[in-house]
Structure 1
């Protein structure tokens, strides 16, 4: 019997958090998000995981993708569309992630601590396979993808198994 490939669950940051930031809530450093106009192609929104169009308004802020502060809870800069956008929720990485070069990946355990030997620097086209390999490990609960500037891009988890039978 052939095993099914591991499914991925890729989601943007939680909608409630994005909305709070858009409404003037503080970022991870306790500061108000800055408003700016997107310039050039390198402005990914961490909620919809799409690129913010040049000329559109964006928020620039510090983000910590963890529920609480602890030694491995890194904080870094991110962008958000200033206007509402739909949260990304899919079984695949956004196509533009293939252009992250290099990208950083780290596996984390259920206690939100880095599983050290999982850290890698790689080119975007290798992200999908690397996430699947890391998530196949029992000691890895989820994976973070970051840019070469250490900006958080997305959290990747194991997807749900297919429903139903033959």
Structure 2
């Protein structure tokens, strides 16, 4: 596609999981699999909290739980493991990806329509350094309501929308 519309930069809105969902977990609710989150010690530098999108400090306690980033069950409503800080943290809602996303090697990225269905032709495997531009490219497609970024292990990282999206 080479239209002028497609050449315009898309301003991103990068969001961690909602504060309501994180609060529910911190208050002892069950995860997407109906289980209590597990408390574990963060080892190494690959422990991103999916609420604040900061890395959990090695040696700190973290919660490990099943997460489904969709409001309703349907065929594309994937569930997978995520980490959260054990204590409340600041929700991430910014115009750029956290700097550490550049080290996701590789990252999975795909667009979804307003019915939460994967748009297969948007799916890509890219180096972390290409995520910002790839998000912009996918969000130029008017069929795409939002993008999910996942790790190479298919773990949900964050949701990315157009900045004008609610």
Q: Which residue of the partner structure matches residue 30 of structure 1?
A: 34
Q: How many residues align?
A: 161
Equivalent residue for 1:61?
A: 65
Report the secondary structure of 1:17's partner residue: helix
- Return the match for 1:115 from 108, 119, 131: 119
Match for residue 159 of structure 1 among 142, 158, 163: 163
Q: Secondary structure at the match of 1:30?
A: coil
1:131 to 118, 130, 135: 135
* TM-score normalized with structure 2 length: 0.93
Query: Any gaps of 5 or more consecutive residues in structure 1?
Result: 162-166
Whole-Å separation in 2 of the counterparts to 1:122 and 1:7: 20
- Shift in Å at residue 4 of structure 1? 5.5
Please give the secondary structure, in 1, of the residue aligned with 2:23.
helix
SS of alignment partner, residue 153 of structure 1: strand
TM-score w.r.t. structure 1 length? Answer: 0.93
Q: What CA deviation, in whole Å up to 9, does each residue of 1:68-100 have, x standing for no partner? A: 110000000000000110000100000000000
Offset of 1:22 from its aligned partner?
A: 1.1
